[in-house]
């Protein structure tokens, strides 16, 4: 028996077994027992079934279903209700229920197909995604109708595109809010759950909570980040790899955290050997090997904005040395020499088969989790020539990697470099094999190594070590609350840092509405200054833009109402080293839950492009001014 009194709000226990709906907050209700029983009966559940419930609410229906079916997947739009339901399931020992916050009208594609789907909210029409996620013979029970004319429907899938429908009678449910259902402006919601600030839509809430600043150069800007000073790991993101304001802001934040909060490491989304050369330079050691960051995408780290920060690090380390204090160290989290390895693959394939080289170039362009250019995947059927190159490519990549790591082997950090090199070489063949064919495994292996590297660095430097990480939003925003996890089974660095260093990690995303960016059209292409399209109306960026504030920090934990309003899945833009404005919606947006993905969000409404620096000719670098001619 499922104790219904455990699923109602305090004070309502005496009414728990009345055959009537009860309010549970957020404009939602726990359905009357009769209706719950009717829907479960009409779903025709079996002990081996996998069931999707849309509208977790209190969790009561999920709990009942879990006592009959093998596993229940439940989606709730309101984070508070989802959290409460999880807590109830935990206390009652119901282990076969998974709950997520999201758009129920889209179903749960990752877990599909389902033997049954039960929807506990009324839709204007049956969402196509829910029908598509039914298994053959699967049953969907859902209230459908406009206004007060809702009918309870039972829909059974009889074939790939065929369904049978049965009308079970009139009902009245709260509206299903989602992209394929009602909008959040449904009058029943606004009447049932007035906001304490009813006139404030999400963009108005953003405007009310936003902490404005005049520029990243202003002293007041960096002080905004004192609230993250007690963290051991602070991850600073960017929504493009080519925006000047993002680099300038991260530099200002990093300087402040180093000077005032004891951070002693900076790690970036860059190759380990390249970063090791920079670490030598900021610590006054001679350069050796090839100039760092001399391969595609050069502008990502070889730019004026970043070089100014490195110049500050060098001067600060000179000051520390005079005081006999430990220096700030600089590291790269990408142990794989990824860009060099890709270049090696492309060079080899160009000589063997230009056609397969073009396929490889397009696949590498889609290693980023937000890239989904249909043309690329249409050409991704690998040829025999492509497969025949695999062994030679793997050999070439691992040899290249070994040479790159040898160049870092004697710079005063011998043990750390040797240990990291050994870790990488032990897994090199697996990594390059995965990278060669693309897919989520390549992304997951890469970000897992990044997280492992962070952990190794903190262990190596001791319990007082604190690290600042510069990486793209797709790496630092918790993947569990994005399409990366929901649609592609991907994880990322921010997620892993939260999981491994619970309570000691701060994730800060950065975004923009429009302006200019440095990016290429294709992998290994020429850097171009491109105009950034204005953000899409359905996006989080448009909410920030509509706030009317040009620059601000949004502390996503500072205001409970704001946090709740930004839980809903919306589009978010991701531009990496490739920007394709002509296919922007497909190539550069994915759905996310902003307030769960980050701890804070830093906004620049209009931005300008980075200022790339020319790579020096081989053998002409000056040890005194290396690496960027400062």
Q: 438, 380 in Cβ contact below 8 A?
A: yes
Q: How far apart are CA 409 and CA 425, in angstroms?
A: 14
Q: Which residues pair with 531 in a beta bridge?
A: 516
Tokens 């957020």 found at:
26
State the Cα torsion 51-53-54-55 to the nearest 10°.
Answer: -170
Query: What are the start-end ranges of the E strands in 103-145?
Result: 114-119, 134-144
Q: Which residues contact 322 (CB under 8 A, 6 or more apart)?
A: none
Is residue 254 annotated as a catalytic residue, yes or no?
A: no
Could you give the 3-state DSSP secondary structure of residue 18? coil
Under 8 Å between Cβ of 356 and 385? yes
DSSP β-ladder status, 467-470 and 265-271: parallel
Q: Provide the token pair at 392.
A: 């030679």
Distance, in Å, from the CA atom of 611 to the CA atom of 90, rounded to the nearest integer, reads: 53
Contact assessment for residue 541 and residue 588, using Cβ atoms and an 8 Å cutoff? no
Q: Are 157 and 135 in contact (CB under 8 A)?
A: yes
Measured distance CA(542)–CA(192) in Å, rounded: 27
Q: Please report, in angstroms and rounded to a whole number, the separation of the first and last CA atoms in the chain.
A: 73
Which SS3 state, helix, strand or coil, does residue 559 take? coil
277 alpha carbon, distance to own chain's centre: 30
In the set 31, 62, 74, 339, the catalytic residue is 31
Long-range contact pairs involving 612-620 (C-beta distance under 8 Å, separation at least 24):
612/298, 612/299, 612/302, 612/303, 612/304, 612/518, 612/527, 613/302, 613/303, 613/304, 613/307, 615/291, 615/293, 615/294, 615/298, 615/302, 616/291, 616/294, 618/290, 618/291
Backbone angles phi, psi at 580, to 5 degrees: -125, 85
Q: How many whole angstroms separate alpha carbon 135 and alpha carbon 141?
A: 14
Cβ proximity of 572 and 591 under 8 Å: yes
Catalytic residue positions?
31
């Amino acid at each position: 028996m499922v104790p219904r009194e455990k699923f109602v709000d305090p004070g309502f226990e005496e009414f728990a077994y009345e055959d009537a709906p009860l309010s549970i907050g957020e404009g939602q209700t726990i359905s009357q027992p009769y209706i719950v029983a009717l829907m479960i009966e009409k779903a025709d559940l079996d002990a081996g079934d996998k069931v999707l419930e849309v509208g977790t609410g209190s969790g009561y229906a999920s709990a009942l279903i879990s006592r009959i079916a093998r596993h229940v997947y439940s989606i709730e739009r309101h984070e508070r209700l989802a959290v409460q339901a999880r807590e109830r399931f935990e206390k009652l020992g119901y282990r076969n229920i998974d709950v997520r916050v999201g758009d129920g009208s889209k179903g749960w594609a990752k877990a599909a197909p389902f033997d049954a789907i039960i929807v506990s909210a009324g839709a204007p029409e049956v969402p196509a995604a829910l029908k598509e996620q039914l298994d053959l013979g699967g049953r969907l029970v859902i209230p459908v109708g406009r206004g007060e004319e809702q009918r309870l429907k039972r829909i059974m899938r009889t074939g790939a595109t065929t369904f049978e429908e049965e009308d079970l009678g009139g009902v009245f449910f709260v509206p299903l809010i989602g992209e394929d259902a009602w909008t959040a402006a449904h009058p029943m919601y606004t009447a049932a759950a007035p906001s304490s600030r009813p006139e404030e839509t999400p963009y108005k809430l953003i405007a009310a909570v936003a902490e404005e600043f005049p520029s990243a150069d202003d002293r007041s800007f960096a002080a905004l980040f004192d609230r993250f000073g007690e963290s051991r790991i602070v991850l600073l993101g960017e929504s493009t790899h080519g925006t000047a304001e993002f680099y300038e802001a991260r530099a200002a934040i990093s300087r402040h955290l180093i000077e005032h909060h004891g951070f002693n490491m900076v790690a970036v989304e860059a190759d380990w050997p390249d970063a090791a050369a920079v670490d030598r330079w900021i610590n006054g050691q001679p350069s050796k090997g090839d100039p760092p960051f001399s391969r595609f995408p050069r502008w990502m780290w070889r730019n004026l904005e970043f070089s100014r920060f490195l110049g500050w690090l060098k001067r600060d380390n000179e000051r520390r040395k005079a005081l006999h204090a430990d220096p700030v160290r600089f590291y790269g989290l990408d142990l794989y020499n990824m860009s060099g390895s890709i270049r090696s693959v492309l060079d080899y394939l160009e000589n063997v088969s230009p056609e397969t080289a073009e396929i490889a170039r397009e696949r590498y362009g889609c290693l980023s989790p937000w890239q989904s250019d249909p043309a690329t995947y249409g050409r991704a059927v690998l040829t025999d020539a492509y497969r025949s190159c695999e062994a030679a490519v793997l050999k070439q990549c691992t040899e290249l990697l070994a040479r790159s790591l040898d160049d870092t082997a004697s710079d005063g950090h011998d043990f750390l470099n040797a240990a990291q090199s050994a870790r990488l070489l032990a897994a090199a063949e697996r990594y390059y094999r995965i990278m060669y064919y693309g897919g989520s495994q390549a992304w997951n292996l890469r970000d897992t190594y990044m997280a492992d590297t962070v952990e190794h660095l903190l262990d190596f430097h001791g319990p007082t070590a604190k690290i600042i990480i510069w990486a793209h939003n797709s790496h630092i925003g918790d993947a569990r609350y994005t399409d990366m996890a929901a649609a592609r089974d991907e994880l990322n660095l921010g997620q892993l840092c939260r999981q491994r260093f619970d309570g000691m990690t701060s994730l800060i995303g950065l975004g923009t509405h429009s302006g200019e960016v440095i990016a290429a059209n294709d992998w290994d292409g020429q850097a171009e200054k491109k105009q950034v399209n204005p953000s899409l109306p359905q996006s989080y960026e448009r909410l920030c833009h509509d706030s009317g504030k040009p620059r601000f920090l949004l502390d996503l934990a500072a205001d409970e109402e704001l946090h709740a309003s930004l839980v809903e899945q919306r589009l978010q833009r991701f531009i990496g080293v490739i920007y394709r404005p002509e296919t922007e919606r497909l190539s550069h947006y994915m759905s996310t839950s902003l307030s769960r993905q980050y701890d804070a969000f830093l906004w620049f409404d209009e931005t300008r492009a980075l200022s790339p620096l020319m790579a020096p000719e081989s053998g002409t670098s000056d040890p005194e001014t290396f690496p960027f001619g400062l």
